Structure 1
Amino acid sequence: MELFQDHVLNETRRQFIGRSATGIGTAALASLLNPELFAETDSSSQSSSSQSGLTGVMPGFHHAPKAKRVIYLFMSGAPSQLDMWDYKPDLHKMFDKDLPDSIRQGQRITTMTSGQSRLPIAPSMFKFKQHGNAGTWVSELLPHTASVVDDLALVKTVHTEAINHDPAITYIQTGSQLPGRPSMGAWLSYGLGSMNQDLPEFVVLNSTWSAKRDAQALYNRLWGAGFLPSKHQGVSLRSTGDPVLYLSNPQGVNSQTRRRMLDSLAALNEKKFQEVGDPEINARISQYEMAFRMQSSVPELVDIKDEPAHILDMYGPDVHKPGTFAYNCLLARRMAERNVRFTQVFIRGWDQHGSLPRDIRLQCGDIDQPCAALINDLKQRGMLDDTLVVWGGEFGRTVYSQGALSETNYGRDHHPRCYSMWMAGAGVKSGITYGETDDFSYNVVENPVHIHDLNATILNLLGIDHERLTYRFQGRDFRLTDVEGNLVNGLFS
């Protein structure tokens, strides 16, 4: 009996078409050299001027976009909304009293506190003041961010079903608690494509943190492409050595030699594509070509010596240390200038089950000045009008203390029922507080925002109807918001 090769047994409709139509690989390679020749058009879409720059699968924006790009500042580990944003002064009268059953309502808690005999209320030890024209309450931990609250939309009612870190981060990043789905940046790369052919559409920056404690791991699947073509996955820049592994040519290899090697490799990949029609071959060609262009674009990007002293001072002293949150916020602005579509800045260390007052001071010291600087820097360049900035984590922290409680020391467990995030920039109403929680920052009482609603709103600001950006996989049409998601119209300017 004849033995069939795997690619024949596993042949897909796309592969069949690819094998039947000669020259597709060549066309794909040519599209890398002049993408405008191969950009899709749709006469029924918006005007051609509003469609310019789209090189993804979408033939045009679903509606006029407010934002061209996104900078997503992700606080991995879940910052405490009670100590930073959600002011609850009456809690001081209830210090060390048990959380009322009428508030908890039998809701799920983690195994880390389920064994405690009590759930003692831990009021924030930090002072709050009102700031800005709207009198937004902000903790003393965030004096710099407080100075830009008139540019922010503070959302106090974000909520999620996930109660543990990895499922929760996976959920808000990909729309599913289970690994394997594309991340938000990958969806944008797939749908909208690139605005800069010399840099990736989706870049990830992982930051160091001052609190000398263990932190939840971040896996590269959080910026992965899932079942989308692999070229849409995020590119993580390193803070030491080459920003991207193997970006530099090895000793004895110059740019001309590398170019000849890539041309020969592209020819071999083209031949293989004509044999099997696997679309990942074209993705591989694309990634090789991008890597070649990044050899000149990335070193220029990460070299901040041309930044004026007053700009560096604005981000704070840590801006001179590669890998810090301050340095990465400056890089995010530089990438926004170069039209990188989606930049995600991660910082870990917010998982403060114990010694929260000590650790959160350090964490806020890492992020406070750079966040404000990023907003001001974008604003003074006229870029905040079309750049969306998002700040937040995977869930919030509990009003009750985990472990020992005193007036100056406490810890907080995971709390998915409500937490605070903020947005700023393109199309977002500025200087507002959206939603309200109960007196214990435990339940939402007004204007709930599910993470699917948040993601649907972000896509909308980019000109995307979240229900229409889909990808068929294993017989089902998938999307970032799964089968949910409602626009938060109260956030639109």
Structure 2
Amino acid sequence: MLTRRELLKHSSAGFGYLALAGMSNHGREAFGAEVANGAEVTAAHPLAPKQPHFAGQAKRVIFLCMQGGPSHVDTFDYKPDLLKDHGKRAKYGGSLLKSPWKFRQHGESGLWVSDLFPQVATHADDLCLIRSMHCDQPVHPGAMTQMHTGTAQFVRPSIGAWTLYGLGTENESLPGFVSLSPPAGSSRNYGSAFLPAIYGGTKVGRTGSRFAQAARFAGGAQESVPDIKNPTLDAREQRRQLNFIQKLNRSQMPDGDTAHVEGVIQSYELAFKMQDAMPSLMDLSDEDERTLKAYGADGGPTATFGKQCLLARRFAEAGVRFIEITHGNWDQHNRLTEDHAARAEACDGPIAALLADLKSRDMLDETLVIWGGEFGRTPSAQNGDGRNHNNKGYTLWMAGGGVKGGYSYGATDEHGFEAVENPCHVHDWHATVLHLLGLDHEQLTYRYAGRDFRLTDVYGNVVHDIIA
């Protein structure tokens, strides 16, 4: 006869870390009924949809994370003085380096975009450029962590985890936060820290991989999530085990108090449901050839990122609250002309297709699409054809989700070294993203170690000027 410990061990086979995702219950609403001991038992689910603090325009986020720091002065921050002063001594040393790419005005708004992104430029009237971003960290790990969690010094929940904690999700069979090929270096960038673990991101694909497993056209999607299928038990037997474990756990709690184990039970339920929902959602074989071609998912340098962008649309459509895609490496200390061109070629078309697809499905207004890296790059040259890190001023853009389209906010100096007009710190950006989702960054708190924590700590101001 199996012991309770052995039953727990065997039932978790095939679920991996997903089955252990949530260790406590902080849900406010029933997310459906679960079956236990032959009868329905209604339980509050930690991922149940929650009411925002106020009516926000955005219902979900797709974050296109450009790892490595793309150069703002070569992409979305036009600096004619940099062209004019090419070769002159820069104010922080070295020589100024003009952009190898021409900038042109696009759309009715006339936004300046470089020739690195010709297809994204066709959506200029949907873009809201924040050209005055700045952060505290000049090195990749710290800046990337601050971009995701608000701090580089401490372990804090990521913006995706805070979003899921604040709003819940709209699909009980899928994780509410998915990170496709997450940023290198640390799980902190998609983790939940002291929030219940079920709010952390579900990692799909490996950083730097070609994403072949995660986006096969048929049958292979299940391989992209570790141990998504139980290799020894069918669904019926798994269901019986879960129901029995539920019964045992509930029987051990005095007076029917199940609060301490409900999160564990719900994480098992989610993992059980994901076995069918996740592989099916990630199977692109039902997409027509025109869609695959538009995203560049049918081959060539755009295939990897194109598949990821298409999956992001499918996840968003299915009710996932926060989707992040990591693309890079944009860290060109040399070979800027060659490597930035290659990075842009791989993602320009897919991003444009994603924006067009969301708009055609009437989803863009409720989907906040974000593009940006952890910092920018210097206007001065490094190693001849390269640029160094620059956290003092850089560009990030957003589209849809309640932001003004065809709009430019803030500015760096004449060469692009630092933000000088309407500076926007990472804390301000975080506050603004939460605001667009209907969440007050000062009210979205979690009590831990005797104090109330929030994504923006004690900082941050909503940038109301960019809100439509």
Q: TM-score range by the shorter chain?
A: 0.7 to 0.9
> Structure 1: how far apart are the matches of 2:67 and 2:388?
14
Alignment-derived partner of residue 377 in structure 1: 357
Across the aligned residues of Structure 1 and Structure 2, the Cα RMSD in angstroms comes to: 2.7
Counterpart selection for 2:228 from 247, 266, 271: 247
Counterpart selection for 2:243 from 252, 260, 263: 263
SS at match of 1:429: coil
> Structure 1: how far apart are the matches of 2:25 and 2:375?
47
Alignment-derived partner of residue 76 in structure 1: 67
Counterpart selection for 2:426 from 435, 443, 451: 451
Alignment-derived partner of residue 33 in structure 2: 34
Q: Check whether the contact 1:179–1:221 (CA below 8 A) recurs between aligned residues.
A: no
Cα displacement (A) at 1:321: 9.6
Question: After superposition, where does 1:63-462 map in structure 2 within 5 Å?
Answer: 63-100=54-91, 104=92, 118-206=93-181, 217-238=184-205, 239=211, 240=213, 242-250=223-231, 252-270=232-250, 281-317=261-297, 324-403=304-383, 405=384, 410-462=385-437
Q: Check whether the contact 2:82–2:379 (CA below 8 A) recurs between aligned residues.
A: no
SS at match of 2:143: helix
> Structure 1: how far apart are the matches of 2:136 and 2:26?
45
Cα displacement (A) at 1:261: 2.2
Q: Check whether the contact 1:69–1:388 (CA below 8 A) recurs between aligned residues.
A: yes
> Structure 1: how far apart are the matches of 2:189 and 2:178?
12
Q: Check whether the contact 2:30–2:48 (CA below 8 A) recurs between aligned residues.
A: no
Q: Check whether the contact 2:174–2:320 (CA below 8 A) recurs between aligned residues.
A: yes
Query: 2:186 is matched by which residue type in structure 1?
Result: Y
Equivalent residues, number? 423
1:77-104: per-residue Cα shift (whole Å, max 9, x none)?
A: 110001111111222332232212xxx4
CA separation of 1:32/1:386 partners in 2, compared to 1, >3 Å: closer, same or farther?
Answer: closer
CA separation of 1:346/1:218 partners in 2, compared to 1, >3 Å: closer, same or farther?
Answer: farther
Cα displacement (A) at 1:268: 4.3
Q: Check whether the contact 2:25–2:262 (CA below 8 A) recurs between aligned residues.
A: no
1:444-493: per-residue Cα shift (whole Å, max 9, x none)?
A: 22111111111111111111110000011111111011111111111111
Q: Check whether the contact 2:365–2:402 (CA below 8 A) recurs between aligned residues.
A: yes
Cα displacement (A) at 1:271: 5.5
Query: 1:380 is matched by which residue type in structure 2?
Result: S
TM-score, normalised relative to structure 2: 0.84
> Structure 1: how far apart are the matches of 2:190 and 2:461?
24
Cα displacement (A) at 1:300: 1.1
Cα displacement (A) at 1:218: 3.7
Cα displacement (A) at 1:309: 1.9
1:248-303: per-residue Cα shift (whole Å, max 9, x none)?
A: 121x421111112222333444456669x997743332221111101111111111
Cα displacement (A) at 1:126: 1.0
Query: 2:286 is matched by which residue type in structure 1?
Result: D
Unaligned runs of 5+ in 1: 1-24, 41-52, 105-117, 208-215
CA separation of 1:27/1:283 partners in 2, compared to 1, >3 Å: closer, same or farther?
Answer: closer
Alignment-derived partner of residue 55 in structure 1: 48
CA separation of 1:38/1:247 partners in 2, compared to 1, >3 Å: closer, same or farther?
Answer: closer
Query: 2:315 is matched by which residue type in structure 1?
Result: M
Cα displacement (A) at 1:399: 0.9
> Structure 1: how far apart are the matches of 2:358 and 2:168?
23
Q: Check whether the contact 1:229–1:280 (CA below 8 A) recurs between aligned residues.
A: no
Alignment-derived partner of residue 12 in structure 1: none
Query: 2:373 is matched by which residue type in structure 1?
Result: G
> Structure 1: how far apart are the matches of 2:230 and 2:419?
54
Range with greater deviation from structure 2 (479-488 or 91-100): 91-100
Cα displacement (A) at 1:245: 1.0
Q: Check whether the contact 2:160–2:322 (CA below 8 A) recurs between aligned residues.
A: yes
Q: Check whether the contact 1:389–1:425 (CA below 8 A) recurs between aligned residues.
A: yes
TM-score, normalised relative to structure 1: 0.80
Q: Check whether the contact 1:319–1:330 (CA below 8 A) recurs between aligned residues.
A: no
Q: Check whether the contact 1:384–1:425 (CA below 8 A) recurs between aligned residues.
A: yes
Q: Check whether the contact 1:84–1:141 (CA below 8 A) recurs between aligned residues.
A: yes
SS at match of 1:200: coil
Q: Check whether the contact 1:225–1:234 (CA below 8 A) recurs between aligned residues.
A: yes
Q: Check whether the contact 2:130–2:396 (CA below 8 A) recurs between aligned residues.
A: yes
> Structure 1: how far apart are the matches of 2:302 and 2:260?
34
Alignment-derived partner of residue 458 in structure 2: 483
Q: Check whether the contact 1:32–1:286 (CA below 8 A) recurs between aligned residues.
A: no
Q: Check whether the contact 1:26–1:270 (CA below 8 A) recurs between aligned residues.
A: no
Alignment identity in percent? 44
